[in-house]
Amino acid sequence: MILSIESSCDDSSIAITEIESKKLIFHKKISQELQHSKYGGVVPELAARLHAVALPKILEEVKAYLPKLKAVAVTNEPGLSVTLVEGVSMAKALALALDIPIIPVNHLKGHIYSLFIEKESNFPQMILLVSGGHTQVIEAKSIDEMRTIASTMDDSFGESFDKVAKMLDLGYPGGPIVERYAQKGDENKFSFTVPLANSPKIAFSYSGIKNQVRVAIQNRENMTEQDKCDICRAFQKSATAHLIQKIKKIFKTNPSIKDFAIVGGASANLYLREKIAALCKEFDIVLHLAELQYCSDNAAMIGRYAIDAFNIKYFEKIEKIAIKPKSAL
Ligand code: KG4
Ligand code: ZN
């Protein structure tokens, strides 16, 4: 079995995965959303302190499995430095005490492996990763052949939902709240332009649309709950149309694409899922989605990556494991 740890942002999570069968034996996650919500975003110092309490608490529950472990896997990049350290320190202590190897895991690759939890891995794929820190399209051919072909020039898709929620005073994390408000909104009350609509560039940008929302809020006197729903509706529509337009370009220029997937916290957005499903249908492409519970940060996806890494002995010496807060794929 492999024990995996995730602490790159505001979720403390540990999983135990069986190597042979790929079965998820144990999985627990303690989210810190409530504690951060009053600040309108993640406060790194607070997040680190909460991990230091939550991770040992979860570890306590899996004590019985410790003698069966063949490796420990941990997210060491990218993420918040002070929170990554919490998981990495625990992984090092476990590796030393149990005399087992460590598998360092790139969080973005972890999200990709959320597609394969309790399944065989399925490459090649073209993948859209939409999370709080990232918006990118990745061509993934195997565990170590992954190439970013498009990414955001400023804010990420999920981050823009968080910022809109903050401007409308709706709470954190903004994604699910904005989606809920949007469901009750009228899409013709506000109108926001689709970013880079006339640009041939295959890239994403969310700072402009965020500013359009800011201006709309400033221009509105006595904002009602319905106004907020209408703004969320129009915002979600343009933000999603932007992704769809650019992905359509990618499909048009790469006729060999047969499989497409969406991963990351924001891939839980049902409106986005619906629009992407329609696009894939138009191009006769098979759409792959992670289970909703594995879209946001979790240790199960880290453990699933670790199985493939274990099988090709992707180990690192304890003294060589370092955190890389700003790394890419
Ligand atoms: O993958 P994740 O849990 O953490 C990062 O690695 O960033 O993604 C969290 C992000 C947040 O920005 C959150 O607002 C966004 O995903 N998100 C959503 C939805 N659920 C979560 N964005 C849009 N719609 C949603 N339903
Ligand atoms: Zn993530």
Q: Quick check: 306 pLDDT over 90?
A: yes
Which residue from 307, 240, 244, 297 is spatially nearest to 111, judged by alpha carbons?
A: 297
Q: Which ligand is nearest to the CA of 107?
A: 2
Write out pLDDT tens, residues 162-209: 999 999 999 999 999 999 999 999 999 999 999 999 999 999 999 999
Write out pLDDT tens, residues 116-174: 999 999 999 999 999 999 999 999 999 999 999 999 999 999 999 999 999 999 999 99
pLDDT, average across residues 222-238: 97
Identity at 197, one-letter amino acid code? A
Ligand 1 atom, smallest distance to 295 CA? 1
SS (H, E, C) 54-84: HHHHHHHHCHHHHHHCCEEEEEEECCCHHHH
Residue 77 to residues 137, 152, 308, Cα–Cα distance (Å): 18, 19, 18
Which residue from 247, 231, 302, 291 is spatially nearest to 267, judged by alpha carbons?
A: 291
Distance CA 113, CA 309 (A): 11
Task: Tell how far the Cα of 131 is from the centroid of ligand 1, in angstroms.
Answer: 5
pLDDT of residue 152: 97
Task: Tell how far the Cα of 312 is from the centroid of ligand 2, in angstroms.
Answer: 24
Task: Tell how far the Cα of 260 is from the centroid of ligand 1, in angstroms.
Answer: 19
Distance CA 45, CA 51 (A): 10
Distance CA 147, CA 155 (A): 20
13, 271, 296: residue to mutate for ligand 1 pocket, most atoms within 8 A of CB: 296
Write out pLDDT tens, residues 28-60: 999 999 999 888 889 999 999 999 999 999 999
31, 84, 161: residue to mutate for ligand 1 pocket, most atoms within 8 A of CB: 161
Distance CA 36, CA 284 (A): 42
Task: Tell how far the Cα of 227 is from the centroid of ligand 2, in angstroms.
Answer: 31
